[in-house]
Chains A and B, each alone.
Chain A
Amino acid sequence: MAEEILDKVRDVVEGEIDFKGQKRAELIGTLLLAITGLIAFNVGWVKQDIVLAMYLGGAGTALSFIAVVPPWPFYNKDPAKWLPVGSGLTVG
């Protein structure tokens, strides 16, 4: 019982995702941050308010962290199909 819980905790903390999920995470993180930077600059410039630009940048960065760091189910949709254990040629 205790071991099962510990296993689950470890899975959540390590947050491993599948290969396609890794590619997706990379793309989403890069896009979100780049767009955040552009929005922060442009809105700040139009409104002539540097504090607003800073808050927009901070909010976008926080959003990027939330979207990318946790192992959302979205990143585990295509688990690699490994061969079953013992399916290889047995020696002997």
Chain B
Amino acid sequence: MHNSLNRLQSVFGFFTTVAFTLGCLIALTDLWAERTPSGVIKATNTQVVKGRPHYYSSKKEEYAIIKFSLDADLSSLFTWNTKQLFVYVTAEWPAPEAGMNATNEAVIWDSIITNPSADHLVNLGPIGKKKLKASAGGKSIAPERGLLKLKNQKPKYQISHPSGKIASAEDVTLKVHYNVQPWFGLLTWNTQSDIGRWKSFAGGVSDQFSLPAVKVKDDKKKP
């Protein structure tokens, strides 16, 4: 501590220790916050069409387009340490024959929901970003953004299967997943069972349904 450089190094050194400790404390507060996610999901309209994976492909594959309705309450996932929430919906169905993949799982829709503390990071244009920031109303946490109400939502991704066949798949279910991305601490996904104050997802799985057969183009017959 005898000269300025020495004091600079010593203060900075202890600052890193304090910053790390502060980060750990903040990460630990996540365990204190209750997580009670719940939701109802339902497939509203399913359709299977034939298409090509890319323009010059000679291979034709079947693609499923699954529209769904989602009514979810993920507001408890928004705490002071939440940076953003990644919500995604998967379609899952078992293999029709033994020897194939036991379970097929594909994401059909996803969304990033930011907490106001991370609004400046969103990939939006200047006007959209301004609107998003204004929607927080000056609050530091916005749990109301965790309330999802989607009606007959179009999927973001049309799904297929490595075999190219997906029509008439049976026992398909839709499932809601989330991933909490904190400012400090570990990424966490939905839990299979209750962990302390973190409850497992109440609902969030649709009833089983079957995909229809490939849609035949009969538009030409219509006037």
Contacts and interface: CB of A to CB of B under 8 A. Distances in A.
Contacts of B141: 48-49
Contacts of A23: 1
Contacts of A69: 4, 7-8, 11
Residues of A in contact with B, size category: 20 to 34
Interface string A67-84: 011110000000000000
17 contacts: A14-B5, A16-B2, A17-B1, A22-B2, A23-B1, A34-B18, A36-B18, A37-B21, A44-B80, A48-B141, A49-B80, A49-B140, A49-B141, A50-B117, A51-B140, A53-B26, A57-B18
Nearest to B15: A61
A13 interface: yes
Contacts of A40: 22
A30 B140 contact: no
A26 B10 contact: yes
Contacts of B18: 33-34, 36-37, 57, 61
Interface of A: 13-17, 22-23, 25-26, 29-30, 33-34, 36-37, 40-41, 44-45, 47-53, 57, 61, 64-65, 68-71
Interface of B: 1-5, 7-8, 10-12, 14-15, 18-19, 21-22, 25-26, 29, 79-81, 117, 140-141, 183
Contacts, number: 81
A64 B15 contact: yes
Given A29-B14, A50-B117, A50-B140, A15 B3 contact: yes
A90 to B, nearest CB: 31
Contacts of B81: 50
Listed residue (A23, A49, A68, A69) with the most chain B CB atoms within 10 angstroms of its CB: A69
Nearest to A49: B140
A33 B11 contact: yes
A29 B10 contact: yes
Contact of B4 (A14, A36, A37, A52): A14
Given A22-B2, A68-B10, 11 more contacts: A25-B1, A26-B1, A29-B10, A36-B18, A48-B140, A49-B80, A50-B183, A53-B22, A65-B11, A69-B8, A70-B4
